[in-house]
A = this chain, B = another copy of it.
Amino acid sequence: MSALDSKVFRDLSYGLYIVTSLDGERHNGQLVNTVIQVTSDPARVAVIINKKNLTHEFISKSRVFAAAVLDQTVPLTFMGPFGFRSGRDYDKFAKVSFKKGITGAPLITEHVLSVLEARVFNEIDLGTHTIFVGDALASEVLREGIPLTYRYYHEHLKGKTSPNAPSYAAPR
C-alpha cells in the first residue's frame, strides 16, 4: 500500500450537527459532521471548524460553543442556510427556534434531539481547520428520535458537502 485512495474516507462514519457560538449579541452556527466525545471523566467534546467560517471566529473569541444533534427527520431546507450560507451576510437565526444556553450560545430547539454546551479547554491548529476541545458544561435531551448521520444525509436526503468541510472531496 503506497498511494492515498480518498475513497477510504467515505467509509468513516459521522453524525451531523449544528455547532453554534456567539459574539456579544450576535449568534451564528453551521453544519458540522465532526462532533465527538473525547473523554468521559471529565466529559469533554471536540468539534472541528474551518478557519474561513464565521463560527470559527466566534468560538475563537468567546471560547464557548454549543452543538445540536439533528433529528433524522430534519428537512434539507432547514439545514441549507447552516451549511451553505455565511453568517456574515445572513442572519441564520432569524427564523429558527432557539433558547440561550448558560454559555450564551444559542441552543437550537427545532429538528433537534439534544443539545450540549462547552467551554474551550484546548485547541489544535490543523492548517485549514481547528480542533476545539471543550469541557461539557450542560446538556439536555429535547426529544426521542434517530440522530441524523452523515451517511443518511448523503444517501437518503441527497445532501451535499460544503467545500469548507473537513471531509470535502472536490467533484471530478
Chain A contacts to B: CB under 8 angstroms: 1-9, 11-16, 34-44, 46, 48, 69, 99, 101-102, 107, 113-117, 122-129, 131, 133, 136-141, 147, 149-150, 165-169
CA separation between A44 and B45, bound complex, in Å?
Answer: 19
Chain copies in the assembled complex: 2
| Pairwise interchain contact B12-A35, C-beta atoms closer than 8 A | yes
CA separation between A11 and B16, bound complex, in Å?
Answer: 10
A4-B138, A5-B141 known; A34 vs B38 contact (CB < 8 Å): yes
Considering residues A16, A131, A147, which has the most beta carbons from chain B within 10 angstroms of its beta carbon? Answer: A131
Taking a contact as CB atoms closer than 8 A, the residue among B42, B126, B147, B169 that contacts A13 in the complex is B147
| Pairwise interchain contact A3-B131, C-beta atoms closer than 8 A | no
Taking a contact as CB atoms closer than 8 A, the residue among B8, B123, B168 that contacts A40 in the complex is B168
Name the CB-closest residue of B to A42. B127
